Structure 1
Amino acid sequence: MALEISEPQRLAKLDGREIALGARAFDVLAYLFAHSDRVVSKAELLSHVWSDLIVEEGNLSVQIAALRKALGKERIKTVPGIGYRLIRAATSAPPQAQPDQPSLPSIPSLAVLPFTNLTGSAEQDYLVDGIVTEVISALSRVSGFFVISSTSTFTYKGRSVDLAEVGQELGVRYVLEGSIQTAGNRIRIFTQLVEAESGHTLWQERFDGTDADIFDLQDEVAQSVAGALEPKLQWAEVARAQAQPTENLAAYDLCLRATPLLLKLHAPELLDEGLALLDKALALDPDFIQAHALYAYSHTSAFATRWWSFEKAGAAEPHARRVLDSDTDDALALAYAGHYIAYLKHAYREGLTALERAERLNPNSGTVQMLLGWVHTYINDCRPAITHLERAKRLSPLHPHIGVINGGIGNAHLQMGETETAIRHLEQAVTEYPEFASNQLMLIGAYWSVGRKADAKRMADHLRRKVPDMTVDTFLRTRPHHGEDYNALMVDALRGTGFPD
């Protein structure tokens, strides 16, 4: 079916039939039509169509939805994280899954979007986000669900989004939305389950409680969504999924506040601020396992960015041991602690055992898959490493540490001698997460090994500015095991690019 556009007449025809469009929808279509040979970014469309106004991205989503309704969904392709591309001539062939758009899993697939904070206080964002994260965690542990992790869904926070677009970008059939209100110590949570493609509301519910029984509210929301999605699932499986993290709500509050500071890690100052909050939480509740786990994980990140020395980062071992010696069934806590002792203490088998248990507890955690993949790279077990890391990308395509995931994939390919593939992933990783010095280190080795010595030296100069005390001995003393060929490659590259022994 042919699409025709006449801008002077402001007329659009599909297979000779005139299409009724609003003014903004026509402007969007005309611009996409004129640039149908490429992907047009959202920013470019907003700038062109609303050149005289400052508008939110949601305005564009509304017009795209209207165009898809008029032209057919297959006419306008979403390129996740970038923009849209218009397909001028539709074919009668069945649509094929696009490599940049995940296909729907065979089991019920769900994304829980950040809830809207209606408390009237931005300071309550941490509480709202904490409830959403706990609900995602509970649902992820149900083997019959495919649940997108919070690291991807939280990229939609504060945005007006088109649910059909969210479904396409994340590869899910259902979306859970919600809002939270407070009055004194009372909390009201409103949720609705929506079929992403049609926008049809399948179920909605309201939950009331107090700040003292917040954990019961989290469990109740998780159970109710499970019932709406798949009535045959065992309710008990969800009921066991979310154990109350701590009896001390003040400690839990402090840990929630520390979490975004320690996981984003864009500056050393945030690390210090987050650790100070964890110190307060552990002073209130020394047995708070999630706080111990986050403490350990933040130290691995502090060394991976090279903000801290290997020795300083290694001082968090008692926190990791506290987690591993407990009987916790918190998958993320086990993953953080297991990765810590593998990465910074080189206790590979013990770390892998903890991560494998974490995977059994929560097979749908993108972070668990990411850390499990990295530990496999440490022991030169590269094919399983790639499998886990690719699964992490599928579970969490918008993970804030996607650069760490791609860096792990690049590391595995580099160890296997697939250097050009490694370079492609590592270059992407360095762009995605410039703070992660380990990616830059690996890219130096990859460039050097294929004779791209100028590129290797350029990257080495960049790394030296960030880590002026980097030496070959530091690399050999602190590296995870990897394989001997890989280590020899890296030593040759570091010496060749001017790092002292």
Structure 2
Amino acid sequence: MPMLPRDVKKAVALLGADPERSIDELAAACGVARRTLEKHFRRFVGRSPSEVRHALLLERFRHELLRAQPKSNVTKIAMLCGVHHLGRFAAAYRKCYGESPSVTLRRRCAALERQETVPAVLSPTLDRPVVAVHSFELIGARAHRLITIADEIAIVLLRDRWLSVGPPRHARYHLRGKVREDGARRLRILVMLTDAASARHIWADRWEGELDDVFAFEQNVAIRVASAIGSSVRSAEIQRASHADPAQLGAWELTMRALPRALLIQPAAQAEALELLERAMDLAPQDALPMALAAWCHAQRGSHHLGPQPDAEKQAGRELALRASRLNACDPKVEALLAAAHTLAQDFEAASTHCDRALALDGACVWGWNRSGMLHLYHGRATDAIECFQFARALGPDDPLNFFCSIGIGSAHFEVGRYEEAARWFTRGIAEHPPALWVNRFRAAAFALAGRKQEARQSFAELTCAYPDLTIGQVRRALPHTPGFCDRACEGLASLGMHP
């Protein structure tokens, strides 16, 4: 891809921050004539500024639909996104995403309705980082209507079983916020999360909106804050555990130290993760999290050629998953991990049960939608699988397992014979997660079946370099794809010279 001129780079950045900017405003901000900016966009981007602006508006609109709360409607979301001609925009949305905006919104609301009311109590025997939610500073008469916003955030945070909520004197992290009225019937909310030990701000954000419905407004803010805090605390805890004295680590710190190693899905890294998780299970035998993560590690090792005994690895994963399921205390991420372990052990009924539980506990559980997509895929339901993967990516754009969504979408296209598209998504999955060289078993086959011989040979070379003894039989047994998927994948690999 050619280097972008300065005016195009700046215009793209400005559009990303605010897609509602007019082309004349962009040209003025970039210091060039409108005609010059349009010429540079067509030459270096392949689209006009208006087309890029339209695509970004579509992306923003879909993102807001997928994060909408109960009682939301398409028209209001469109207005908030700067969409003024909903009819034409809805037609473009359908063409881009294969469904109408109202269908996307209904699916999001249906996911929220699945969320059960569960006891917001974390077992006192489990060690989890404590977040203190301080009362918000309320400035202005309308701002004082949000008197319970801190309580709403605390309630939503309690659904995240990877942290707990408590008083400031016991807290490792402190959440503070401010709500200010702007004098035009709009409110601005500023929120910051601070690490008590270092006094560093580890996350901050702000929102603006109109206060039409106090309860809906508070709930919307609470869900967005809780989602961001969960990932920020997880990252901070991984960093804290990685710098601590290994001999002084408790079960939670050992699990956090194991997590990034597990997510690498590499032989050495996962072996290290399993060692750490064994210690965590010894220290906290009633904690389902390290057990579920260990089950997932074994299942991945058995499915991606990371160990010499794949069947034994999958069975070990299934046995750990059964043990963890008896201990799990309403943790949706644990349910998703258990679903993955059962799926790869080809126990689809148990996997489906855990997927349903994950999404019932948290309709926005990214790992739950990810695993649900895989289940659909292995049953041959390509369209449903792609929908789940797209939903997962939209809900968690920075989730560490997003590369699985790309691989899953690629596999869904492969399932229905769209080999060019499959290869494109497999390539994207490897770009998002370079250690996933095992994806080349399907990427090489997709290129071969698409008639792209040079790319197929290159992908096959990458696969055999990483796995020199891999055979077609091992590929066929690794994952529970449909017979048709396996036959065509093996046909493609055989054409490239892989031994039976």
TM-score by length of 1: 0.58
Tell me if structure 2 keeps the 8 A contact 1:227–1:233: no
Deviation readout 1:95-120 (Å, 9 max, x if unpaired): 971447854234399xxxxxxxxxxx
Paired with 2:49 and 2:447, the residues of 1 have a C-alpha distance of 42
Shift of 1:492: 1.0
Pairwise CA RMSD of aligned residues?
5.1
- Alignment partner of 1:329 is 2:330: yes
List aligned pairs for 1:273-312, cutoff 5 A: 273-309=272-308, 310-312=310-312
Instruction: Give the equivalent residue in structure 1 for 2:243.
Output: none
Distance 1:258 1:311, change over 3 A: same
Q: For residues 455 and 319 of structure 2, what CA distance do their matches in structure 1 show?
A: 41
Question: Could you tell me how far apart the structure 1 residues matched to 2:406 and 2:195 are?
Answer: 42
Q: Could you tell me which residue of structure 2 aligns to residue 97 of structure 1?
A: 57
1:367-394 CA-to-partner distances (Å, cap 9, x unmatched) read: 1111110121112122211111010111
Deviation at 1:280, TM superposition (A): 1.5
| Residue 176 (structure 2) aligned to one of 184, 187, 191 | 191
Q: Structure 2: state its 5+ residue gaps.
A: 31-43, 73-126, 133-151, 198-213, 231-248
Is the 8 Å Cα contact of residues 324 and 338 (structure 1) preserved in structure 2? no
Name stretches of at least 5 consecutive residues in structure 1 with no aligned partner. Answer: 1-30, 46-60, 78-83, 110-126, 151-179, 211-225, 243-248
* 1:327-406 matched pairs, under 5 angstroms: 328-343=329-344, 345-406=345-406
Question: What amino acid sits opposite 2:289 in the alignment?
Answer: Q
1:285–1:140 Cα change, 3 Å: closer
Q: Contact conserved, 2:330 with 2:361, CA < 8 A, in 1?
A: yes
Q: Distance in 1 between matches of 2:153 and 2:297?
A: 22
Indicate the residue corresponding to 2:149 in structure 1. none
CA spacing shift, 1:130–1:262, aligned 2, 3 Å: farther
How many pairs align? Answer: 356
Task: Name the structure 2 match of 1:443.
Answer: 443
CA distance in 1, matches of 2:441, 2:393: 22
- The reply to whether residue 202 of structure 1 matches residue 203 of structure 2 is no
- The 5-angstrom pairing of residues 126-275 of structure 1 reads 139=156, 187=172, 189-192=174-177, 202=189, 229-230=217-218, 250-263=250-263, 265=264, 267-275=266-274
Q: Distance in 1 between matches of 2:408 and 2:49?
A: 40
CA displacement 1:346-369 (0-9 Å, x = unmatched): 111221221122111111011111
| Alpha-carbon distance in 1 for matches of 2:49, 2:195 | 52
Closer, same or farther in 2 for the Cα pair 1:499/1:259, shift >3 Å?
same
**Distance in 2, Cα, partners of 1:381 & 1:90:** 36
CA drift at 1:137: 11
Contact in 2 for aligned 1:190/1:205 (Cα 8 Å): yes
The whole-number CA distance in structure 2 between the counterparts of 1:389 and 1:137 is 29
- Once residues 96 and 377 of structure 1 are traced to their aligned partners in structure 2, the CA distance between those partners, rounded to angstroms, is 29
Q: Is the 8 A contact 2:441 2:475 kept in 1?
A: no
How many Å separate the matches in 1 of 2:193 and 2:306?
A: 45
Asked if the contact 1:32/1:40 (under 8 Å) is kept, the reply is no
Residues 391-427 of structure 1 deviation map (CA, whole Å, 9 limit, x = unaligned)? 0111012222322111100101110122222222122
C-alpha contact (below 8 Å) 1:376/1:382 kept by paired residues: yes
Match of 1:496 in 2: 495
- Describe the shift of the 1:470–1:75 C-alpha distance in structure 2 as closer, same or farther (beyond 3 A): farther
In the other structure, the counterpart of 1:157 is none
Could you tell me how far apart the structure 2 residues matched to 1:234 and 1:188 are? 17
**Is the CA contact 1:297–1:340 (under 8 Å) kept in the aligned structure 2?**
yes
Asked whether 1:318 is paired with 2:319, we answer yes
Deviates more, 1:370-379 or 1:267-276: 267-276
Structure 2 partner of 1:107: 69
Contact 1:203–1:228 at 8 Å: present in 2 too? no
> How far has the Cα of 1:485 moved from its partner?
2.2
Determine the C-alpha separation between the residues in 1 that align with 2:498 and 2:195: 61
- Paired with 1:101 and 1:141, the residues of 2 have a C-alpha distance of 29
Q: Which amino acid aligns with 2:176?
A: T
CA distance in 1, matches of 2:397, 2:358: 20
Contact 2:385–2:412 at 8 Å: present in 1 too?
yes
Change (3 A) 1:88 1:417: closer
Separation in 2, partners of 1:449, 1:273 = 38
The answer on 1:467 being equivalent to 2:452 is no
User: Which is helix-richer, 1 or 2?
Assistant: 2
CA contact (8 A) 1:97 1:103 kept: no
Say whether the 8 Å CA contact 1:191–1:206 is kept in structure 2: yes
| Distance in 2 separating the partners of 1:453 and 1:32 | 31
Counterparts of 1:90 and 1:313, CA distance in 2: 53
SS of 2:321's partner is helix
Q: Is the alpha carbon distance of 1:472 and 1:373 closer, same or farther for their aligned partners in structure 2, counting shifts above 3 Å?
A: same
**Given the superposition, is the C-alpha separation of residues 397 and 280 from structure 1 closer, same or farther in structure 2, using an over 3 Å criterion?**
same
User: Cα deviation per residue 1:423-448 (whole Å; 9 max; x = unaligned)?
Assistant: 22122112222222442111122112
- Displacement of 1:268 after TM fit? 3.8
Greater CA deviation, 185-194 or 365-374?
A: 185-194
In 2, distance between residues paired with 1:369 and 1:258?
Answer: 23
Counterpart of 1:426?
426
Cα distance in 1 for residues equivalent to 2:465 and 2:486: 23
Once the 2 structures are TM-superposed, how far is the Cα of residue 457 of structure 1 from its aligned partner?
A: 2.1
Say which SS state the counterpart of residue 250 (structure 2) adopts. Answer: helix
1:466 shift after superposition: 0.7
Tell me, in whole angstroms, the C-alpha distance in 1 between the residues paired with 2:63 and 2:343.
34
Cα distance change, pair 438–94 in 1 and its aligned pair in 2 (3 A)? closer
Distance 1:203 1:311, change over 3 A: same
Amino-acid identity (%) = 21
In structure 2, the CA distance between the partners of 1:130 and 1:397, relative to structure 1 (3 Å rule), is: farther
Give the Cα separation in 1 of the matches to 2:7 and 2:190: 40
Q: Which amino acid aligns with 1:419?
A: Y
Counterpart-to-counterpart distance in 1, 2:154 and 2:294 = 19
| In structure 2, C-alpha distance between the alignment counterparts of 1:186 and 1:96, rounded to whole Å | 40
Please say if residues 131 and 175 of structure 2, whose CA atoms lie closer than 8 Å, have aligned partners that are also in contact: no
1:455 aligned to 2:455? Answer: yes
Task: Look up the SS of the partner of 1:192 in the other structure.
Answer: strand
Whole-Å separation in 2 of the counterparts to 1:299 and 1:275: 8
